[in-house]
Each structure stands twice: as C-alpha cells, then as structure tokens.
Amino acid sequence: MGRRAREISETGLYHIVFRGINKQHIFEESVDYNKMKSILKEIKEEMKFEIYVYCFMTNHVHILLKESKRGDISLTMKRLLTKYARYYNRKYK
C-alpha cells in the first residue's frame, strides 16, 4: 500500500522523514552523510528553501524546512532523493 498524498502546508513548513527500503541503511560511511549534506545544500540554493534543522541517522533522515514557493516541496524532495539514490546506487552497486 502506498503512502497518503502529502498535503500542501499553508505555512510552507514541513517535517520530512525518509528512510531506506525495509529500514536498510542509507548511509554506510561518513562520506555518505557528507554527500547528502552537499546535495541538500545544492538543492537548497536551486529551490531557495530554508532549512531549520536536519538529523541524519544510519537508516533514515529528518529535515525541517520551509519552502519559498508554495507547492515546491514535491519537486524539492524528488531532486534531493533522486540525486542521492543515484550516488548511493553507483557507489554500492
């Protein structure tokens, strides 16, 4: 069963949580955390959102952010997760 569709926030604030499939690790080494941070920074500059706080765990991530343009959250997350998945899949085959 798929997840419920994300509701667009009136305030633009979102607590984002994502994790590996079957709770598998998404970060194996410290360079993986750094790669996620650099991708997040790159996407932040492109999409112009604010990051209030983030927490990277071995198998999941929490991010509290505020989008600058209402409704951009889907595109923001698509870009972030696609870039990181490409990196991870290339690195770990």
pTM of the model: 0.87
Mean pLDDT of 62-91: 94
Q: What ranges make up the beta strands (E) of 4-90?
A: 13-19, 50-56, 60-66
3-state SS, residue 88: helix
Mean pLDDT of 46-62: 96
3-state SS, residue 65: strand
- Whether pLDDT at 3 is above 90: no
Residues 6 or more apart whose Cβ sits within 8 Å of residue 16: 61, 62, 63, 64, 65, 73, 77
For residue 91, give both structure tokens: 């690195």
Residues 6 or more apart whose Cβ sits within 8 Å of residue 91: 32
| Residue 1: per-residue pLDDT | 58
- Whether pLDDT at 8 is above 90: no
| Residue 4: per-residue pLDDT | 75
